[in-house]
Structure 1
Amino acid sequence: MAVLWLVLPLSLLIFFLGVFVWAVLKHFLTTDVPSTLKHPIKLRILHCAFLYVTTLGDILEKLGICSMPRFVRFLHDRLIIIKKDPKILVTNLYFGTIPVRLFQPSAASCSPRRGVIFYHGGGVMFGSLDSYHSLCSYLARETDSVVLCVGYRKLPDYHYPISYEDCLNATIHFLKGPEAYGVDPLRVVICGESVGAAFVAMATQNLVGRTDLPRIRAQILICSPVQIINLQLPSFQQYKNVPFLTEEMTMNFVCKCMAIDVSWKDAILNGSCIPPDFWRKHRKWLSSDNIPDRLKKEYQEPQVLEAFNESAYLENKQIFDLTPILADDEIISQLPEAFLVSCEYDLLRDHSLLYKKRLEEHGVPVSWYHIEDGFHGCIILFDKKPFHFPCSQNIMNAVVSYIKSL
């Protein structure tokens, strides 16, 4: 028995050490950290830790113990230390079955405040109210606004469009009575990061023309995917191996979020599921034509997409639902002004540029903030010392400055 008690912890130690070594090897063999990126060692350490945790989650999922997304969220939330800010009153609420967290400045105000509705990122797999708590608290304090963070439902139990519908329904609920939270109905902003930013674009479009609700004052899209049809854009080719959003992770998100079999991954990547007529009609908004030449950096655009595969289209046509960039012109022209944030070392960089052009073509005022040393997901690290990056704080400062200008 004594031998057993000795062998068991030793076996566990060897197992965890083996997984760690595998994660480190995978990082150095499959990822690319640009030499011009500030604090590359920090990024390598964080990405190795991320790979370690997700690998443990994959093992637990294969053993039938716990799903990988749930394991990562649980572990992440346990490691977060939520600091109370005496200047911010935090309230956990439910809008129907949707958990939300309200951040209100505790100081009295002589007039209704601005409202910010925030959709967090994480690919509908990661992220939570706790993991974005400090970010929302910071926004509320620095902009003197009431911030509502939506805890939409995620994988593995819920797929798209449930997550988006939760965001939209929570927003509608809030807009029906913003005065109850001390918010001026004419100054409500919707803000989101990563997939949350895609939901911002979709929700803002959905609310166009709603006479029963106040008009959205502005939309803020931080590192947003606005389509998952053409995955051959310059930034996707240039930075497909840069943490934290690599090509492998992107396709994992897409397949799981849209309930697509992973065997169709290559068909989505090479575009063989795109009908030729559809491509000809929407090529203007989906191709690299609107990307400045200075950002293409040795990019070679394919002359044609992969030969059309009708079976691939029929099996994966749900990806065409997540394309706010292709909304009708009538809808686009009525959208509120937008603030778009993009990071140079982000495979989604070009999405912001394409959407910027789409909005500008229809007279929608657009402000674009591009961070040269930024990478996808960096914003959540803005206060995570010693692992924060200058780009993280710069994005937060830009968002705060824009909100205060409204």
Structure 2
Amino acid sequence: MMRSSCVVLTALVALAAYYIYIPLPSSVSDPWKLMLLDATFRSAQQLETGSQWKLLSSQSNLIHYLGLSHHLLTLNFIIISVGKKSAWSSAQVKVTDTDFDGVEVRVFEGPPKPEEPLKRSVVYIHGGGWALGSAKIKYYDELCMEMAEELNAVIVSVEYRLVPKVCFPEQIHDVVRATKYFLQPEVLQKYSVDPGRIGISGDSAGGNLAAVLCQQFSQDVNLKKKLKVQALIYPVLQALDFNTPSYQQNVNIPILPRHTMVKYWIEYFKGSYDFVQAMVVNNHTSLDEEEATALRAHLNWTSLLPASITKNYKPVVQTTGNARILQEIPQLLDARSAPLIADQEVLKHLPKTYILTCEHDVLRDDGIMYAKRLESADVEVTLDYFEDGFHGCMIFTRWPTNFAVGIRTKNSYIEWLDRNL
């Protein structure tokens, strides 16, 4: 009996190890933790696709009852159920849930200081592929709490609406509406915020929305000087080329493989999954698509990236592609979705910028190219690169998902804000 139990246990351990293990570059931070984190995400994604729910009728009925028929709704339900935090204030930071012009926000107010009656402020936009996450889950709650305390600042974390309930450009409208409301003199006065020391920031898809908002504000004469800095954390900046060196190098690296990023884009635009494979090989921006070809000049990575990044990678440019893609999803070529392709005239009016990039991230080169384009437009840029970083690492700083690079990226980010805001 004992021998049988040992055999079964050994087999289970072997199966678990087989499921968890994936080959990772030796330079990535805490590789076994990343494997476990990736296995957790894969399990949640497999759970929400339906096979497990079908086995358990009560849970399946619950999902149907809650109206979570879309797989992203189901996945986000799991994420928020596991990680949601109430608006809990500490001795140092006051936390309040409210709304700014109909958009939900969570406001973190740092401790008052008699010698500094007015505080600086950051409007923060969370990541999650425009579809997942929340300002109210622990990862973002803890980040904003720490920012408010360390910077003695007011942090406004925006709870914008998500895919599939709304799609592009509604997420942009939400963050713009909330930020404009916050920038009103009477609202800044209510929160004791210095109107000359306000920044916009976000990670991943939130970095995309922050960059888009900053570009829009820079073109509005009433808002041009309202934002002192923008801080973009591994931002999503373009959907024209899914074969930059970082997309090729990190095609299957957690927690954002290339296929997953392409699917997020398609969901954001309410497009068809039938286009995924064609977009992966850049069939949507082939040479016979004149508008796409002209815009790709703004992200010509052979000239925008250094040789240490381009290495031996070759551009993937199709002669002929699938014309249906741009016909059905013209938003792919809209600078409001892809701020990297904005005109130089727009870029030159942007504020001082911080861009954090990670080596093991499909989006690494988006950030590097944007930094290069901003520098060419005479914008002061800090490009903060982490050789052992991976996509999403900055929010993973607490046990059991505490990564060494997560702590270093967070500290570096907050230190830059402290010096420049």
- Please give the TM-score of this superposition, normalised by the length of structure 1: 0.88
| C-alpha distance in structure 1 between counterparts of 2:389 and 2:293, whole Å | 33
Instruction: State the 1:186 CA deviation.
Output: 0.8
Structure 2 unmatched ranges of 5 or more:
1-11, 55-59
Letter in 1 for 2:266: C
Moved more, 46-55 or 208-217: 208-217
CA contact (8 A) 2:207 2:235 kept: yes
Letter in 2 for 1:73: N
Instruction: State the 1:225 CA deviation.
Output: 1.4
Identify if the C-alpha distance between structure 1 residues 145 and 185 changes in structure 2 by more than 3 Å, giving closer, same or farther: same
Tell me if 1:403 matches 2:417: yes
Instruction: State the 1:294 CA deviation.
Output: 1.1
1:7-406 superposed matches below 5 A? 28=21, 32-59=23-50, 65=64, 66=68, 67-80=70-83, 82=85, 84-109=89-114, 110-131=116-137, 132-177=140-185, 178-213=188-223, 214-274=225-285, 275-289=288-302, 290-302=304-316, 304-321=317-334, 322-382=337-397, 384-406=398-420
- How many positions carry a matched residue from both structures? 384
Letter in 1 for 2:144: C
Letter in 2 for 1:121: G
CA contact (8 A) 2:126 2:202 kept: yes
| C-alpha distance in structure 2 between counterparts of 1:291 and 1:200, whole Å | 23
Instruction: State the 1:300 CA deviation.
Output: 2.4
Match of 2:57 in 1: none
Instruction: State the 1:81 CA deviation.
Output: 7.0
Local SS of the residue matching 1:106: coil
Local SS of the residue matching 2:240: coil
Identify if the C-alpha distance between structure 1 residues 361 and 77 changes in structure 2 by more than 3 Å, giving closer, same or farther: same
CA contact (8 A) 1:23 1:51 kept: no
Local SS of the residue matching 2:383: strand
Q: Deviations over 1:51-74 (max 9, x none)?
A: 111211121899672233333333
Structure 1 unmatched ranges of 5 or more:
1-17
CA contact (8 A) 2:242 2:258 kept: no
RMSD, aligned CA: 2.4
Q: Deviations over 1:364-384 (max 9, x none)?
A: 1101100111000111112x2
Letter in 1 for 2:153: S
CA contact (8 A) 2:259 2:280 kept: no
Identify if the C-alpha distance between structure 1 residues 255 and 38 changes in structure 2 by more than 3 Å, giving closer, same or farther: same
Letter in 2 for 1:345: H
Local SS of the residue matching 2:283: coil
Moved more, 150-159 or 274-283: 274-283
CA contact (8 A) 1:271 1:306 kept: no
CA contact (8 A) 2:395 2:410 kept: no
Q: Deviations over 1:191-236 (max 9, x none)?
A: 0000110111110010114343452101001001111111110000
| C-alpha distance in structure 2 between counterparts of 1:228 and 1:278, whole Å | 14
Letter in 1 for 2:155: V
Match of 2:7 in 1: none
Instruction: State the 1:78 CA deviation.
Output: 3.1
Moved more, 134-143 or 250-259: 250-259
Q: Deviations over 1:123-161 (max 9, x none)?
A: 012110122111111111111111000000002211121
Letter in 1 for 2:321: F
Identify if the C-alpha distance between structure 1 residues 189 and 130 changes in structure 2 by more than 3 Å, giving closer, same or farther: same
| C-alpha distance in structure 1 between counterparts of 2:222 and 2:262, whole Å | 39
Instruction: State the 1:76 CA deviation.
Output: 2.6
Local SS of the residue matching 2:408: helix
CA contact (8 A) 2:101 2:177 kept: no
Letter in 2 for 1:126: L
